[in-house]
Structure 1
Amino acid sequence: MNSRLVALGFLVLLTVSACGQGAAGQAPVPSMTTLRGGASAAATVPPAVLDPCALLGPQDRSTAGIAVLGVAKEINGARACDWTVPATFGVTITVDERNGLKDLEVARKTATRIKVGDREALKVADANAADGTCAILLGMGEKASVQIDVSNTNFTDTPLACERAVKVAGLAEPKLP
């Protein structure tokens, strides 16, 4: 019973915090914690409660070369978090509770099926456009998905954008339900 209260308390903190930030005058809320038995709190979080800013903790951001905090936002009614590394690149993670991988409209010529961890995913990039953008779409059940978009600031080097997107997807994927 006590572990349920801890998990419930964590979920409440997770939903009221924005990108790991506490309210004014409060200490920052950790983006992810480990519960008793080593289980990640995100493993029990349904998509409707999943905070996209919590998908990249401080160590994850460091690994991905992101030295800034995420900014919560909304994209087409879906929760998102945006990290912008000045003069380098930006990452946006969007949690879509309405569309699974099969529901997403993706141009077939730009999408490649991949796996991130044990999860089915799509890598979406137009090599011919060479616009420095790449997206990894992760399935999260039949009716939900997470989209990781990377854009290089100079809008060149699509392979580098995809390398960054795959890295961020690999860091976020274990935290998904």
Structure 2
Amino acid sequence: MTRVPRPLLLLPALALLAACGQGEPSGQAASGENPPAPPTAAAPTSAAPAGLDPCTLLTSAERSTAGLTSVGEPKAIGSARTCDWTEPGTFGLAISVDESKGLADLRTEKKTARQVKVGAREALKVADPKADDGTCAVLLGAGESASVQIDVSNTNFTGTEAACARADKVAGLVEPKLP
């Protein structure tokens, strides 16, 4: 049985999860067939999140709410600043701030990405419930040329619905802090 590849946008989260046990940095790959349609409404502001530290986007109490027990580790994935959390044997979570790509610039597979709202902000949710591979991403617009990506990967690579519930929760916590 041949599996259809997941959106390459989720590879950073999977690479981060795999790299956690190996102590090696990971790279970013973001590609796909066609870019999604531009959001129908503008983000609350057009300012980019210059200098926004992804590791400060969750308070200690919010990390606990999201099921995280430790402080995240700063990393760079391509040009994006990333904070990576790993809950051994359970899941990995990465928040990336990309100041060079707005929501309309992100490339995802049409069949796995759908437009959603997080708070008043346009967003994309990228997941493949049929594959049930335990991965989910919520991509938030942060101005016209920036975005924040929340990637969740379950360690056992099953439970896409649970991964999306966690990604939705974290996106709801992060969204009000964005410009």
What TM-score does the superposition give when structure 1 sets the normalisation length?
0.73
Alignment of 1:144 onto 2:146? yes
Q: What CA distance in whole angstroms lies between the structure 2 residues aligned with 1:169 and 1:85?
A: 18
Q: Shift of residue 118 of structure 1?
A: 0.8
Give the unaligned 5+ runs of structure 1: 1-42
Give CA-to-partner distance per residue, 1:65-108, whole Å, 9 cap, x none. 11111000000121000010111111000000011110000111
Q: 1:73 aligns with which of 72, 75, 92?
A: 75
Give the unaligned 5+ runs of structure 2: 1-44
Q: What's the counterpart of residue 104 of structure 1?
A: 106
What TM-score does the superposition give when structure 2 sets the normalisation length?
0.72
Give CA-to-partner distance per residue, 1:2-30, whole Å, 9 cap, x none. xxxxxxxxxxxxxxxxxxxxxxxxxxxxx
Q: What's the counterpart of residue 19 of structure 2?
A: none
Specify the code of the residue in structure 2 equivalent to 1:148: I
Give the structure with higher Rg (CA): 1
Q: Shift of residue 46 of structure 1?
A: 5.1
Q: What's the counterpart of residue 168 of structure 1?
A: 170
Paired positions, count: 134
Q: What CA distance in whole angstroms lies between the structure 1 residues aligned with 2:126 and 2:76?
A: 21
Quote the sequence identity (%). Answer: 65
Greater per-residue helix proportion: 1
Alignment of 1:125 onto 2:139? no
Q: What's the counterpart of residue 27 of structure 2?
A: none
Q: What CA distance in whole angstroms lies between the structure 2 residues aligned with 1:91 and 1:173?
A: 16
Q: How do 1:1-177 residues align onto structure 2 when only pairs under 5 Å count? A: 47-177=49-179
RMSD of aligned alpha carbons:
1.4
Note if contact 2:48-2:143 (Cα within 8 Å) is conserved in structure 1: no
Give CA-to-partner distance per residue, 1:121-146, whole Å, 9 cap, x none. 01000122211000000001110000
Q: What CA distance in whole angstroms lies between the structure 1 residues aligned with 2:60 and 2:177?
A: 14
The higher relative CO (CA closer than 8 Å, separation ≥ 6) is in 2
Give CA-to-partner distance per residue, 1:141-166, whole Å, 9 cap, x none. 11000000000010001000000000
Q: What CA distance in whole angstroms lies between the structure 1 residues aligned with 2:106 and 2:62?
A: 27
